[in-house]
Structure 1
Amino acid sequence: MASNNFNIQGLSAKEVFEARKKHGANTLNFKKESGLIEALKSIAAEPMVVLLLVVSSIYFFTGNVGDGLFLAAAIVLVAGISLYQDSRSRNALEKLKNFTQPMCKVIRDGETIEIKSEELVVGDSLMIEEGNTIAADGIIVHSNDFSVNESILTGESMAVYKDASKEDNKVSLGTTVASGLAIATVTAIGNATNLGKIGKSLEDIAEEKTPLEKQITNFVKKMVLIGAIVFLVVWAINYFRSYNVVDSLLKALTLAMSILPEEIPVAFTTFMALGAWRLMKLGIVVKQMKTVETLGSATVICTDKTGTLTENKMSLARLFVLSSQEIADASQPLSADAQSLVRLAMWASEPIPFDPMEVALHEAYGKFMVTDERLVFNMAHEYPLGGKPPMMTHIFEDGNGKRIIAAKGAPEAMIAVSGLSASEKEQVHEAINTLAKDGYRVLGVGEASFNGNDFPATQQEFSFSFKGLVAFYDPPKKNIPFVLEQFYAAGIKVKIVTGDNALTTGAIARQVGFRGFDKSISGDELMKLSEGELKEKVEDMQVFTRMFPEAKLKIINALKVRNEIVAMTGDGVNDGPALKAAHIGIAMGKKGTEIAKQAASLILLEDDLSKMVEAVAMGRKIYTNLKKAIQYIISIHIPIILTVFLPLALGWIYPNIFSPLHIILLELIMGPTCSIIYENEPMEKNMMIKKPRPFTSTFFNWKELTTSVVQGLAITAGTLSIYQLAVHGGANEEVTRTLVFVTLISSNIFLTLVNRSFYYSVLTTLAYKNNLVGLIIGATVAITGLLLFVPPLTNFFGFDNISAVQLLTSVVIGLLAVIWFEMIKWRSRVAAKTV
């Protein structure tokens, strides 16, 4: 049956082309804001840009055309940098959207092929099966025990059974297949679908900000408020000293500009978007930005067995025939009884198989059957996979009324409905243990007979004859032992959560070097535990077998109660609730159902668990680098603020050492440093042998924040020291300003290098591969050189010529203001070695 697709030919290539030309692509297109317009709106609302506009206007108003033009150019430059960063982020996210494009199966020219959902056209024969999200509206032309969850349209959570002969024979875009299989002729795509017609309401749904984004936004808002208060205070001080409204306003705006940390939100957006893009290049699609934040905190990974620890390449390996009590090798010629068992197991499978075990049964059947009965038998009734433990039953009939009722499922389920004698049960259990302890996945197979068409409501009501066991071998992936060791080294606990039995799971776990392979609990046992017992068991147990959706969800929630940050892998419909509940839901890109992919926050395109090691490493790197960037911003803002404020507040001889021109110059140097250098920093070598960072409600702990503040105060001490040295040496305001500016720039450069690691020495980090470090620092030095040695620029910014000794003194003070932190790092390394 798999080969003829129920005699449905589907559209030809020419018909597909004509349909697409007539109806367009299968996409929902509503009102879209231009990315450029949105970015420009955002820039126009930035406090720094508003301040620049105000200051620039004042300069023009007072006749300082040169200063006004410089600030106007600065506005363009700030906007250009912001647009560049925004375009990098948007481009990264657009590429992510392409990778998350859902796929669907269609029959074209008699062949079943997989295409992107947007390539679907009206008239296509769409094949939909359990776990799929339906990609368009259509009318059912064939179905097997087919039901759909239409809650997205109706709000009704119960699945609705549909088939071609019923009045309700239509399917809709966005709904999900709860059970069975169907083929539907597509009647509407994109905006013409039922969902498309009501989809306008989706435009106004705003994306919720992540906790970290909220923290950063609140921090920036507080700094804006502080800036506003200080602005008023400084304006008042200057005004009552000079009674010059415009001059005092300019000086107050200078300080307000120095306080605003507008680089922080830009850095956050850049790091998260580019982090997601970097993950995508590794074959890891991040659907939600908050996942990038959470990855580095993962403490537990709950992994499925089949297809995650194993290859998901099922081959029929062994057969146990109850009548002969023999365990046969499926790769050898089979006896008549063994062939009969394979035939029955095939009939208990889907007519168009997609599960690897069912594919293997169809292939095994095709090898020894002279006449293919699949061409003459049609499905009359189907009982989908259900029960605890699960089983499934199919009823087929041919044109002469000959009937086959075949069932397969967990051996325990088949034993329970088969009425075996005590000795037969013992024989079956012995065979199960023999097969399972070698790592085989075992299914029981049974047959029933029934007259009439008034079939029982449940499959368990049939009286089955137990025929035997079919055992499949799914070899472990070769890289899994190494992957597990990497998780363990990173302080991440690994737990196996599977629907398979304990013996098979334990055997595979033992083969791959899984720690705690002998500590297992079943789904039924787990559901009987009290909340307190469950909380303890999820910590002690490492292998969870015969799991079903409710049990999986209980495991995730119990781990969360223990304050674990939980990542979970899954691929099936029944994994959806647990994937949604986990902090990091991980769906498999190849074997994962659309429901699993929708519920997950991250998709592994190659179904390779080793990618999760890379994802965790990337998450840790992104988070650490973002911290470095923001700590740098805090540390360098403190001396700018205090160097502007203290001479004024303390009544020093040159109270306004910096003007708005100098502040914006410093901002233009700092912005690229924090968001380009630190974003591009490689992962530190000890990153994956540390325990996961605590997932707290605050971005910085007090130690980290104190470090940044002390670094900022040390640089302030350096800038104010050179200020006093210059004044006591008889320097004028221009020379003093030049020395202070060079000291601040030098401190900025050395701080950039020192803070590349808060553990390793600057000599170690100089070997880190980051080509942008030399580029940005070189550009900073070049700009400073131009300001010092090109007379028009020197005069414009109010600088003056300084001697080589003065220049060297400023640079040395800048170095000393920062390099002391190397001693703190050295003590940390010594302490770590003695532990």
Structure 2
Amino acid sequence: MSIENFNIKGLTSEQVRQSRAKYGENKLKSKKKSYFIEAIISLAKEPMILLLLVASVIYFSTGNIGDGLFLMSATVLVATISLYQDSKSRNALEKLKSYTQPKCKVIRNGALVEIRSEEIVVGDSLMIEEGNTISADGIIIHSNDFSVNESILTGESFSVFKDETKKDTLIYKGTLVSSGLAIATVTAIGNETQLGKIGKSLEDIQKEKTPLEIQINNFVKKMVVAGAVIFLIVWAINYFNSYDILDSLLKALTLAMSILPEEIPVAFTTFMALGTWRLMKMGIIVKQLKTVETLGSATIICTDKTGTITENRMSLARLYTLASNTICKADDVLGNAEKELIRTAMWASEPIPFDAMEIALHDSYKAFSEKDERPDYKMIHEYPLEGKPPMMTHLFENKQGHRIIAAKGAPEALMTISNLSTIEKQQIIDAIQTITAQGYRVLGVAEAYFEGSDYPKKQQEFQFNFKGIVAFYDPPKKNITSVLKAFYSAGINVKIITGDNALTTLAIAKEIGFKDAEKSISGEDLLHLEGTELQQKVAEATIFTRMFPEAKLKVINALKATNEIVAMTGDGVNDAPALKAAHIGIAMGKKGTEIAKQAASLILLDDDLSKMVDAIAMGRRIYTNLKKAIQYIISIHIPIILTVFIPLALGWVYPNIFSPVHIILLELIMGPTCSIIYENEPMEKNTMLQKPRPVTLDFFNWKELTTSIIQGILITLGTLTIYQFAIHQEFNEAITRTMVFTTLISANIILTLVNRSFYYSIFTTLRYKNKLVPLIIGITITLMALLLFVKPLSLFFKFESLSITQIGISISIGFLSVIWYEFVKWFKRKKETNTY
């Protein structure tokens, strides 16, 4: 039975155009936000921007117009860079919205077509299925076992059954289909829907800060507080030395600027937004930023079988009829018993099939039947898929009053309620074992006879005759073996959670090289376990069969209780609770229901599990590169802070070696390095051979933080050594400042190169493909050359041209203050080689 059997043609293309012209698009329109104004207001609250503005005002008030103009220009430049980064991040997230736009099915020009939900028009014939979010208001004209959850409008969480014969035939935008299928004529779209009228927007998602974002913000706040305290101390010291309020305030602001690590939140936002954009280009939609953080920590992937491990390309492969007690191939010449089995299985399916097995049954029926009986029969009653294990029953009747009552489902479910002898039960069990051992998926088929309209409350109350078994073959995906190997190499365990039986799943698992396939447990057995025993069994088992929603959820929670980071794939309504509970819920873009997509935090557009390997690799890359960027920021900020503070605190000859213009110049050099170079770094070759990183409360462990602090202190020793060398040589303040600045810039360049990897040598990382490295470093060297040798710039920044010897000494000290870490990396590699 197909759409044409219902005589629904839908709108023509011209009618669609006219309806759209009259009623508009199916969008919930709300007051538009001005992101630019929001970004400007956010910038005005930034401590660095405020410090720059204060410093520039002081320069102007003391008559230093040039310095004031430079800082004002720098303020504009910093603000422009921030706005650009914010725009880039927002654009990446806006593109994600278009990819996650829900789709729906409508009948137009007599054919079923899939469109974006915003393209629906009033008058469309909308087809909605289990797991869909309803895209418009409408009136039901046909339904099968159709129920809908309207809690978004009513607040009631239970499902309401509706059909064209009941008083309530209305469906509403934003509500969720709990079961069955319906066709409805669209009566309202956009703001004219019930959802639109009460002003609820499905797009209004409250943005929550991620754990890592909270950690980074807390770190920056601590640095701001520290900066404020030290600012007051330095202001007091300068004031008591000079009794000049403005001059001492300016010098204190210099140190405050050096302390603020404003690049860190910018780097975080940039990395996460561009990371989600890169994932989107790979066909992976990340709905929540915290998912990007968690990807690199995933320790277990729980995957369903059908459509994820297999193709979800069901073909009828084997038939077993109880009457003859024989198994035959579906493409053999079929006898009457086999044809009758297929016919009964087809009637037990939905009239408009959307499940792959039901489509295969309808196709097989159509292929062998001389006369298509489907238009002659009308469904008069139905029982939805339910029970443990599940089954479903449909009742049809033609105009002559001839009735068909057909059921299909798990063979065990039908065997329990059919009139079978002990011998017949054993014959069926033997047939199931023979068929499932070859990797086929089986359904039992039964029929019943019932007169009258006082139908039993439960389908299990019918007196069924067991007809036989239909078996389907769903081949494994071609790349699934290599995908499993990639997961195992990355230290990630894989578990299969399926509604199928154990023998079928075991056969497929062995075919694809699945580890420990013999360790399996059923959903029913799992429900009897609790506490430590449950956790132990879930940890040991790799295959979970005959699973239902409660059992799936129990597995996920048990794994989480043992501190595993769990990723879970799913596509149906029944998967939604487990997807929501998992650390990383993964929905399928093609066959996934809207409910599954809403519950998930990540969507694979092509339903390809290999993309999950790419996603985990990208998650690890983003996290590692963000760490490199922030370690670089910490390492380079320490020498800036100490080079400003120590000469002043110790009363050295030139106590205020740097002014705000020098600090902001360093900030402008460092910003692109951390946000642009490190974000663009490729994944290191050993990234997917490492175990998942543990999820801890702290972004850095003490070892990593100590590395950055030591790097910063040794760079400080380098700059202060140059400082003392210049004084010992009786150089003037301008030459001393220039040599210290040159040393710091040299150390900055070498640090950028050395910290591209905390394991591999600089000679290895120089071969990494990152075009931005030579570009940014080239710009930095060019800028330094201009500052040294272009007289107006030298005078403005109070620099002085250096001799070749002075430049060579400064660069050498900067080089040595960083390059020592290459020896640490060499010892790491040597130690690891000796271990193996």
Q: TM-score range by the shorter chain?
A: over 0.9
The alpha carbon displacement at 1:632 in A equals 0.4
Question: Residues 813-824 of structure 1: matches in 2 within 5 Å?
Answer: 813-824=813-824
Give yes or no for the alignment of 1:207 onto 2:207. yes
**Alpha-carbon separation, structure 2, partners of 1:23 and 1:810:** 72
Match of 2:419 in 1: 419
**Alpha-carbon separation, structure 2, partners of 1:186 and 1:228:** 61
Q: SS where residue 504 of structure 1 aligns?
A: helix
The alpha carbon displacement at 1:344 in A equals 0.5
The alpha carbon displacement at 1:799 in A equals 0.3
The one-letter code matched in structure 2 to 1:231 is F
**Alpha-carbon separation, structure 1, partners of 2:440 and 2:636:** 62
Match of 1:326 in 2: 326
Match of 1:362 in 2: 362
Q: SS where residue 370 of structure 1 aligns?
A: coil
Q: SS where residue 680 of structure 1 aligns?
A: coil
Match of 1:233 in 2: 233
**Alpha-carbon separation, structure 1, partners of 2:409 and 2:699:** 49
Match of 1:280 in 2: 280
Q: SS where residue 374 of structure 2 aligns?
A: helix
Contact 2:152 2:174 survives alignment (8 Å): yes
Match of 1:161 in 2: 161
The alpha carbon displacement at 1:95 in A equals 1.1
Contact 1:30 1:203 survives alignment (8 Å): no
The alpha carbon displacement at 1:512 in A equals 0.2
The alpha carbon displacement at 1:3 in A equals 4.2
Question: Residues 639-658 of structure 1: matches in 2 within 5 Å?
Answer: 639-658=639-658
Question: Residues 165-314 of structure 1: matches in 2 within 5 Å?
Answer: 165-200=165-200, 206-314=206-314
Give yes or no for the alignment of 1:729 onto 2:762. no
The alpha carbon displacement at 1:453 in A equals 1.0
- After the TM superposition, which of the residue ranges 139-148 and 553-562 deviates more from structure 2? 139-148
Contact 2:143 2:164 survives alignment (8 Å): yes
The alpha carbon displacement at 1:775 in A equals 0.3
Match of 1:608 in 2: 608
Match of 1:435 in 2: 435
* Alpha-carbon displacement from aligned partner over 1:620-660 (angstroms, at most 9, x marks no partner): 00000000000000000000000000100000000000000
Give yes or no for the alignment of 1:742 onto 2:742. yes
The one-letter code matched in structure 2 to 1:234 is V
Match of 1:338 in 2: 338
Give yes or no for the alignment of 1:95 onto 2:82. no
Give yes or no for the alignment of 1:19 onto 2:19. yes
Contact 2:152 2:175 survives alignment (8 Å): yes
Question: Residues 330-479 of structure 1: matches in 2 within 5 Å?
Answer: 330-479=330-479
* Alpha-carbon displacement from aligned partner over 1:93-139 (angstroms, at most 9, x marks no partner): 11111110110000111111000001111111110011111011111
CA shift in 2, pair 1:204/1:317, >3 Å: closer
Question: Residues 109-148 of structure 1: matches in 2 within 5 Å?
Answer: 109-148=109-148
**Alpha-carbon separation, structure 2, partners of 1:446 and 1:812:** 86
The alpha carbon displacement at 1:574 in A equals 0.2
The alpha carbon displacement at 1:326 in A equals 1.0
- After the TM superposition, which of the residue ranges 143-152 and 814-823 deviates more from structure 2? 143-152
Q: SS where residue 815 of structure 1 aligns?
A: helix
The one-letter code matched in structure 1 to 2:619 is G
The one-letter code matched in structure 1 to 2:766 is L
**Alpha-carbon separation, structure 1, partners of 2:36 and 2:454:** 64
The one-letter code matched in structure 1 to 2:355 is D
**Alpha-carbon separation, structure 2, partners of 1:650 and 1:188:** 76
The one-letter code matched in structure 2 to 1:87 is S
**Alpha-carbon separation, structure 2, partners of 1:57 and 1:416:** 87
**Alpha-carbon separation, structure 2, partners of 1:197 and 1:657:** 65
Question: Residues 56-67 of structure 1: matches in 2 within 5 Å?
Answer: 56-67=56-67
* Alpha-carbon displacement from aligned partner over 1:553-601 (angstroms, at most 9, x marks no partner): 0000000000000000001110000000000000011111111111000
RMSD of aligned Cα (Å): 1.0
Q: SS where residue 678 of structure 2 aligns?
A: helix
The alpha carbon displacement at 1:715 in A equals 0.4
The one-letter code matched in structure 1 to 2:586 is I
- After the TM superposition, which of the residue ranges 86-95 and 717-726 deviates more from structure 2? 86-95
Match of 2:42 in 1: 42
Contact 1:393 1:408 survives alignment (8 Å): yes
* Alpha-carbon displacement from aligned partner over 1:701-726 (angstroms, at most 9, x marks no partner): 00011111110001000000000000
The alpha carbon displacement at 1:831 in A equals 1.2
**Alpha-carbon separation, structure 2, partners of 1:701 and 1:419:** 66
Match of 2:598 in 1: 598
Contact 1:756 1:765 survives alignment (8 Å): yes
Q: SS where residue 772 of structure 2 aligns?
A: helix
The alpha carbon displacement at 1:201 in A equals 7.9
The alpha carbon displacement at 1:142 in A equals 1.1
**Alpha-carbon separation, structure 2, partners of 1:191 and 1:39:** 29
**Alpha-carbon separation, structure 2, partners of 1:791 and 1:300:** 62
Contact 2:9 2:108 survives alignment (8 Å): yes
**Alpha-carbon separation, structure 1, partners of 2:646 and 2:22:** 71
**Alpha-carbon separation, structure 1, partners of 2:416 and 2:271:** 56
The alpha carbon displacement at 1:419 in A equals 2.3
Match of 1:702 in 2: 702
* Alpha-carbon displacement from aligned partner over 1:122-169 (angstroms, at most 9, x marks no partner): 111110011111011111111111110111111211100111122211
- After the TM superposition, which of the residue ranges 18-27 and 610-619 deviates more from structure 2? 18-27
Contact 1:738 1:800 survives alignment (8 Å): yes
**Alpha-carbon separation, structure 1, partners of 2:186 and 2:632:** 56
**Alpha-carbon separation, structure 1, partners of 2:128 and 2:218:** 46
The alpha carbon displacement at 1:801 in A equals 1.3
The one-letter code matched in structure 1 to 2:298 is A
Match of 1:558 in 2: 558
Q: SS where residue 199 of structure 2 aligns?
A: helix
The one-letter code matched in structure 2 to 1:522 is S
**Alpha-carbon separation, structure 2, partners of 1:751 and 1:701:** 20
**Alpha-carbon separation, structure 1, partners of 2:5 and 2:60:** 76
The alpha carbon displacement at 1:469 in A equals 0.1
Contact 2:28 2:201 survives alignment (8 Å): no
Q: SS where residue 199 of structure 1 aligns?
A: coil
Structure 1 residues without counterparts, runs of 5 or longer: none
The alpha carbon displacement at 1:615 in A equals 0.5
**Alpha-carbon separation, structure 2, partners of 1:179 and 1:451:** 27
**Alpha-carbon separation, structure 2, partners of 1:634 and 1:361:** 64
Question: Residues 480-629 of structure 1: matches in 2 within 5 Å?
Answer: 480-629=480-629
The alpha carbon displacement at 1:192 in A equals 1.6
Contact 2:5 2:375 survives alignment (8 Å): no
**Alpha-carbon separation, structure 1, partners of 2:725 and 2:464:** 98
**Alpha-carbon separation, structure 2, partners of 1:209 and 1:153:** 28
Contact 1:588 1:606 survives alignment (8 Å): yes
Contact 1:30 1:200 survives alignment (8 Å): no
- After the TM superposition, which of the residue ranges 428-437 and 78-87 deviates more from structure 2? 78-87
CA shift in 2, pair 1:142/1:81, >3 Å: same
The alpha carbon displacement at 1:829 in A equals 0.6
**Alpha-carbon separation, structure 2, partners of 1:237 and 1:651:** 10
- After the TM superposition, which of the residue ranges 217-226 and 184-193 deviates more from structure 2? 184-193
The alpha carbon displacement at 1:87 in A equals 1.4
Match of 1:751 in 2: 751
The alpha carbon displacement at 1:180 in A equals 1.1
**Alpha-carbon separation, structure 2, partners of 1:55 and 1:41:** 20
**Alpha-carbon separation, structure 2, partners of 1:197 and 1:263:** 44
**Alpha-carbon separation, structure 1, partners of 2:659 and 2:620:** 40
Structure 2 residues without counterparts, runs of 5 or longer: none
The one-letter code matched in structure 1 to 2:505 is T
The alpha carbon displacement at 1:35 in A equals 2.0
Contact 1:31 1:203 survives alignment (8 Å): no
The one-letter code matched in structure 1 to 2:338 is A
**Alpha-carbon separation, structure 1, partners of 2:41 and 2:405:** 66
The one-letter code matched in structure 2 to 1:163 is D
The one-letter code matched in structure 2 to 1:629 is A
Q: SS where residue 569 of structure 1 aligns?
A: strand
CA shift in 2, pair 1:205/1:182, >3 Å: closer
CA shift in 2, pair 1:652/1:753, >3 Å: same
